[in-house]
Structure 1
């Protein structure tokens, strides 16, 4: 089954369109539910990285999420001001700061992860387990494909 050029132009089969729609709506859903913790859509992504990797430094978050380092710096500063995170100088490399979760940050972890779980359940509502596995596998491959091409473009500057 071939896809005609005009079908991409009219967005009948544009994968990017649907991925973008999922991304924007999921961000809105999660963001609205995280308002009770005074967290925005960027901050929660950084908080996840710190939950999963206590002692991580900002540069590692930048590299893992492939986002702007100034954006991460702003988000981390806000998380610190809100009392969810604190930083300490690295014991070996004094130029680096390690990020840790505060007691307040730990106190919201269960509610925070429940919101993320709910959004995943909404995204896969009506799917069988095998279908969930297939879709996840496809999305991972799609992400890898576009990441490889993006790296090639960046390296050809």
Structure 2
């Protein structure tokens, strides 16, 4: 019999198992699963700045800088000086990176296919609905926490 777990705990467990699966899937390519969003976003906006990528990925520029450094070291991406503004650099795939990106997209499609085979159409739709509802709840709660923190700061500054 299954032990009853809270939603947040179950989501954490799914996230952990997904990361393990991602590690196994990407190990031979010398990629980390957390680099996948960078590959996906860069494939959509190759040549964008680091700041633009960080905003699209909703991560700190310093976090992205570490990712970019590792992927540069592995020969997947390169920075090039912006032709119009030398203070900016733009991020591009190398040939090796383009190949990896295509391979990752194929692997992602394979994962999607496996999940679609595992769940009925109705289950997929219900899971999609529930996970989106969960995301909306987290967004709402995050905004409440930010607002409360701001109000506490304003009171303490007064």
Gaps of 5+ in 1: 1-10
Residue 147 (1) aligns with residue 148 (2): no
Alignment counterpart, residue 32 of structure 1, candidates 11, 24, 47: 24
Residue 118 (1) aligns with residue 110 (2): yes
CA distance in 1, matches of 2:144, 2:83: 36
TM, length-normalised to structure 2: 0.78
Larger Rg: 2
Give the deviation of 1:85 after TM superposition. Answer: 1.0
Residue 85 (1) aligns with residue 80 (2): no
Q: Looking at secondary structure, tell me which structure has more helix per residue.
A: 2
- Cα deviation digits, residues 72-97 of structure 1 (max 9, x gap): 10001111121111122334554332
Which structure has more RCO (C-alpha within 8 Å, separation ≥ 6)?
A: 1
Residue 129 of structure 1 aligns with which residue? Answer: 121
The worse-fitting range, judged by mean Cα deviation, of 74-83 and 104-113 is 104-113
Task: Please give the secondary structure, in 1, of the residue aligned with 2:119.
Answer: coil
Gaps of 5+ in 2: 151-158
Residue 16 of structure 1 aligns with which residue? Answer: 8
Residue 5 of structure 1 aligns with which residue? Answer: none
Residue 66 of structure 2 aligns with which residue? Answer: 74
CA distance in 2, matches of 1:55, 1:26: 29
The count of residues paired between Structure 1 and Structure 2 equals: 147
Give the deviation of 1:123 after TM superposition. Answer: 4.2
CA contact (8 A) 2:40 2:101 kept: no
Alignment counterpart, residue 107 of structure 1, candidates 81, 94, 99: 99
Task: Please give the secondary structure, in 1, of the residue aligned with 2:107.
Answer: helix
Task: Please give the secondary structure, in 2, of the residue aligned with 1:17.
Answer: helix
